[in-house]
Structure 1
């Protein structure tokens, strides 16, 4: 392994000093978990075992972690791993064997807790890979599991527990996995043709969210539709986002479905937030050595409205290749990325080291709050996911077509960090709930009782319960990400010293909460408990 020279360290320090500033009073804190996991974390998925599947690509050359038991990849002299499983509780990794190329692929956690990952490139573009976590488990690969090549596609869990796979490079269609029959095909989706720009595309890794009516909100380039995948029909066409700048790969912004408030098992308003990206001309300019400033705007739209319109907001920092994550208290974390250029090999500049918290319930103009900066640039091929304890796991960054550790602007990054939002500050420990009556299996539309303790007297009006679906994260988008705020109805009562009980009605529809694993949190005054795993059936 090569290491940077002292001159290079000086150059990197100067670059970091010129990155966008963070105020000294910023919230949150950072910790380095592991200086290296052996691979660069291009894709990440949290599993219900509190382990994280992480993988890179198989054609970078050798990684910095060997396969177990002296194994090598078939028909290859490469005996290094390109996937690992990170054990959150023990802060350790073990190597996994992935056979075909998973570069820029996609995936979704299935209802039984299995990760089903699809596509990639070269010999892996139609492969389906399955990972079920256990001490000795490894990837299982299904050749020709897809009917179309899927590279830069987006997956989402379906209300029936299957997953839909939408788009990909030169794949203007969608398909399902698992398939109901061997004759199930890949219906065309003309919207992906309409949003495709020659030689740029700008519609890869489309932003896809399941609406509460069972249709999918699909955003690509600078526009969106509401899509009935059962009938293969566009139900609604949304206005073009103001400014008309692209938000999808390679002009990579990010997006979230804002928290869904569930009252008596039902929801009303459904909103999507899209932030960052790059100007129309940025991809062409970056390939010619000119790095345009990233977008500093967010668009918010109520997709459930009869006449939905975009409301634009301005972030405190422009950002391209940033990740957007739903936090247990209903806020949105914007993290990673750069402030100039686009996604792609060597095409991003000026890392944004400061995360931002977006508070969706505040009034416009007071929703953004800058957070404490990291010292590690997380540029192209970075990842971030929420952990059950409320921290955010951050890894990756490799804007090169191989591992590069010296004499480059942004070296390949093999480390894992954790960002701890301000709600984990020790000063809030007396307000932090602790769940003491976990339930592992719940059902739609039932009343659920949750016991918890808090060290200070509790105001019932300030207690909430949230459920977060753990997403698959890659290329600045978290697939199947979803947060539900359950109605507590002022039901919190004391049941002993520092002990309380709250009751909620679980989501009443698979369109609101698709079947599968969620992390349930009790939140008091914006401070979440450590979450517990629940499976809704």
Structure 2
């Protein structure tokens, strides 16, 4: 990056992003580059999967066949599994429930192997978790949040029609979950079970696009899937993408391949987000971003000890355009295995990953410690480099957005088993939180605080809702937006089910003192916002409030 570009990013983009500070100098490093904090030195497992739940807890898990973890199960429990490849009797936990307000955690009990599995949260807040490896490959597990210490995993054996290892889940407008792909699985299925077009209630449905885009018989894993406002799915696999009508099992449109001919899905392990859907535009535009990954041949090269430089490009495509095309731009540094998360103000943070190599055991080098923030609404200089973390997060790391706007980061285990000595990148059991610049005290004068949401925090479709908030230095209605965010199930560099909707804002009314209320309209359709729990944020002058849980229904 040139010196001119660095000078432009650090002192000036904050002024344009936060108009309140235009013409002022921000001397705080936190306000320019964010801040890292260590939350837990060890939780006893290395979470490769994370999901924020609506009771302000994060459920995390890795795999059961690493051998024993460093967190014992409670109450003398043990897991007996004759199919486990490491331990037949295991009295350690492979899942934890992390409580955000208290920064505490407790062990959970998983019976079968969840390695490289997938998940979605149902409208009632229950996490439905699908597949895995070995004896877990066709199993479904459910976790229903509770507000005491009683909830734990419930497992349902052999409910999936196919083995789902490296599959992708997406919650649908009718509250079903579609499970797509997996290793050597060029098909999809629905949960709960419903008849497919051939009226066979239990079988999977072929998806030839997955077979057509695979590199090898086992590769085309964790496809990027986004639900679009018209109810169809955008599915991206390696270099190609389609508009898919899952109701008719029909590909409606083939999009142009992403330039460069390098794959972006696992094990290349780029990442992808659907940018915020803005209901104030009438019919929301849908734009997908795909960033990073590893060049073609990286996996084979790393297996031989040669670590190729990761990809440094991002591609954007507005899939609602009549003739969409990719627009490419460069990130500040190359990155594979990075996690892309939507921030409450509409920016995107890219965190974790490596600068060389690819996903796989011992296949990554040159950890990328610095997150970058991508500001898609800016015309130029859209990337800003953030403060560096102190810990490398390589293979099997993960990240989720929290209610207060921080990003919780954990995991990193590039080894077949837990390994802490004699390796360049030891297994990591810690949890860290990255606070983006908008959380700096410098922005407190324009930071809103949510006081009240009508209808008992329920957002009905096309129903008016009033959000009362306070702010010390209010600008104008044009400085305010109300956004809802569906928390992601994050694993292997992709946040499944992640989405943001900017609600239609009818106006902002002054109440008294520092209090105002915004009149907004609930999502127009379930295709734009499927039913379920979301975090609602008030954003004022680019600075978000802490989130409040709402239920869209």
- TM-score between both structures, scaled by the size of structure 2: 0.91
Post-superposition CA distance 1:172-223 (Å, at most 9, x none): 000011113682321100111011112662x200000001111100000101
Q: CA RMSD in A?
A: 1.4
Q: Which residue in the other structure is 2:129 paired with?
A: 117
**Aligned partners of 1:108 and 1:479 also within 8 Å:** yes
Q: Which residue in the other structure is 2:491 paired with?
A: 474
Q: Of the candidates 295, 312, 317, which is equivalent to residue 301 of structure 1?
A: 317
Looking at structure 2, the residues matched to 53 and 60 of structure 1 have their Cα atoms a distance apart, in angstroms, of: 19
Q: Which residue in the other structure is 2:177 paired with?
A: 163
Structure 2 residue runs without a partner (length 5+): 1-8, 11-27, 82-87
Q: Matches of residues 55-74 of structure 1 in structure 2 within 5 Å?
A: 55-74=61-80
Q: Of the candidates 278, 296, 309, which is equivalent to residue 261 of structure 1?
A: 278
Q: Matches of residues 240-251 of structure 1 in structure 2 within 5 Å?
A: 240-251=257-268
How many angstroms does 1:287 deviate by?
A: 1.0
Q: Of the candidates 359, 370, 373, which is equivalent to residue 375 of structure 2?
A: 359
Q: Matches of residues 180-191 of structure 1 in structure 2 within 5 Å?
A: 180=194, 183-191=201-209
Q: Matches of residues 232-381 of structure 1 in structure 2 within 5 Å?
A: 232-263=249-280, 266-363=282-379, 365-381=380-396
**Aligned partners of 2:184 and 2:218 also within 8 Å:** no
Which SS does the other structure have where 1:313 is aligned? Answer: strand
Looking at structure 2, the residues matched to 199 and 482 of structure 1 have their Cα atoms a distance apart, in angstroms, of: 31
Looking at structure 1, the residues matched to 154 and 403 of structure 2 have their Cα atoms a distance apart, in angstroms, of: 26
Q: Which residue in the other structure is 2:18 paired with?
A: none
How many angstroms does 1:459 deviate by?
A: 2.0
Structure 1 residue runs without a partner (length 5+): 1-21
Looking at structure 1, the residues matched to 465 and 376 of structure 2 have their Cα atoms a distance apart, in angstroms, of: 27
Q: Which residue in the other structure is 1:95 paired with?
A: 107
Q: Which residue in the other structure is 1:28 paired with?
A: 34
Looking at structure 1, the residues matched to 297 and 177 of structure 2 have their Cα atoms a distance apart, in angstroms, of: 34
**Aligned partners of 1:200 and 1:250 also within 8 Å:** no
Looking at structure 1, the residues matched to 416 and 355 of structure 2 have their Cα atoms a distance apart, in angstroms, of: 21
Post-superposition CA distance 1:480-522 (Å, at most 9, x none): 0000112324x11210100001111121101000000100000
Q: Are residues 1:437 and 2:452 paired?
A: yes
Q: Are residues 1:151 and 2:169 paired?
A: no
Looking at structure 2, the residues matched to 261 and 456 of structure 1 have their Cα atoms a distance apart, in angstroms, of: 25
Post-superposition CA distance 1:259-281 (Å, at most 9, x none): 111128x4331100000011112
Moved more, 86-95 or 69-78: 69-78
Q: Are residues 1:224 and 2:238 paired?
A: no
Q: Of the candidates 205, 228, 232, which is equivalent to residue 211 of structure 1?
A: 228
Moved more, 109-118 or 76-85: 76-85
Looking at structure 1, the residues matched to 227 and 284 of structure 2 have their Cα atoms a distance apart, in angstroms, of: 14
Looking at structure 1, the residues matched to 209 and 473 of structure 2 have their Cα atoms a distance apart, in angstroms, of: 54
Q: Which residue in the other structure is 1:196 paired with?
A: 214
Post-superposition CA distance 1:112-142 (Å, at most 9, x none): 0000000001000000000012221110000
Post-superposition CA distance 1:345-398 (Å, at most 9, x none): 0001100000000001011x4110110000100000000000001000000000
Post-superposition CA distance 1:75-128 (Å, at most 9, x none): 433100000100011101100000000000000011000000000010000000
Which SS does the other structure have where 1:473 is aligned? Answer: strand
- TM-score between both structures, scaled by the size of structure 1: 0.94
Post-superposition CA distance 1:237-271 (Å, at most 9, x none): 0001111110000001000001111128x433110
Looking at structure 2, the residues matched to 401 and 388 of structure 1 have their Cα atoms a distance apart, in angstroms, of: 33
How many angstroms does 1:461 deviate by?
A: 1.5
Q: Which residue in the other structure is 1:391 paired with?
A: 406
Across the two proteins, how many residue pairs are aligned to each other?
Answer: 512
Looking at structure 1, the residues matched to 475 and 317 of structure 2 have their Cα atoms a distance apart, in angstroms, of: 35
Q: Of the candidates 474, 478, 481, which is equivalent to residue 464 of structure 1?
A: 481
How many angstroms does 1:457 deviate by?
A: 3.3
Looking at structure 2, the residues matched to 515 and 184 of structure 1 have their Cα atoms a distance apart, in angstroms, of: 25
Looking at structure 1, the residues matched to 333 and 464 of structure 2 have their Cα atoms a distance apart, in angstroms, of: 43
Looking at structure 2, the residues matched to 154 and 200 of structure 1 have their Cα atoms a distance apart, in angstroms, of: 15
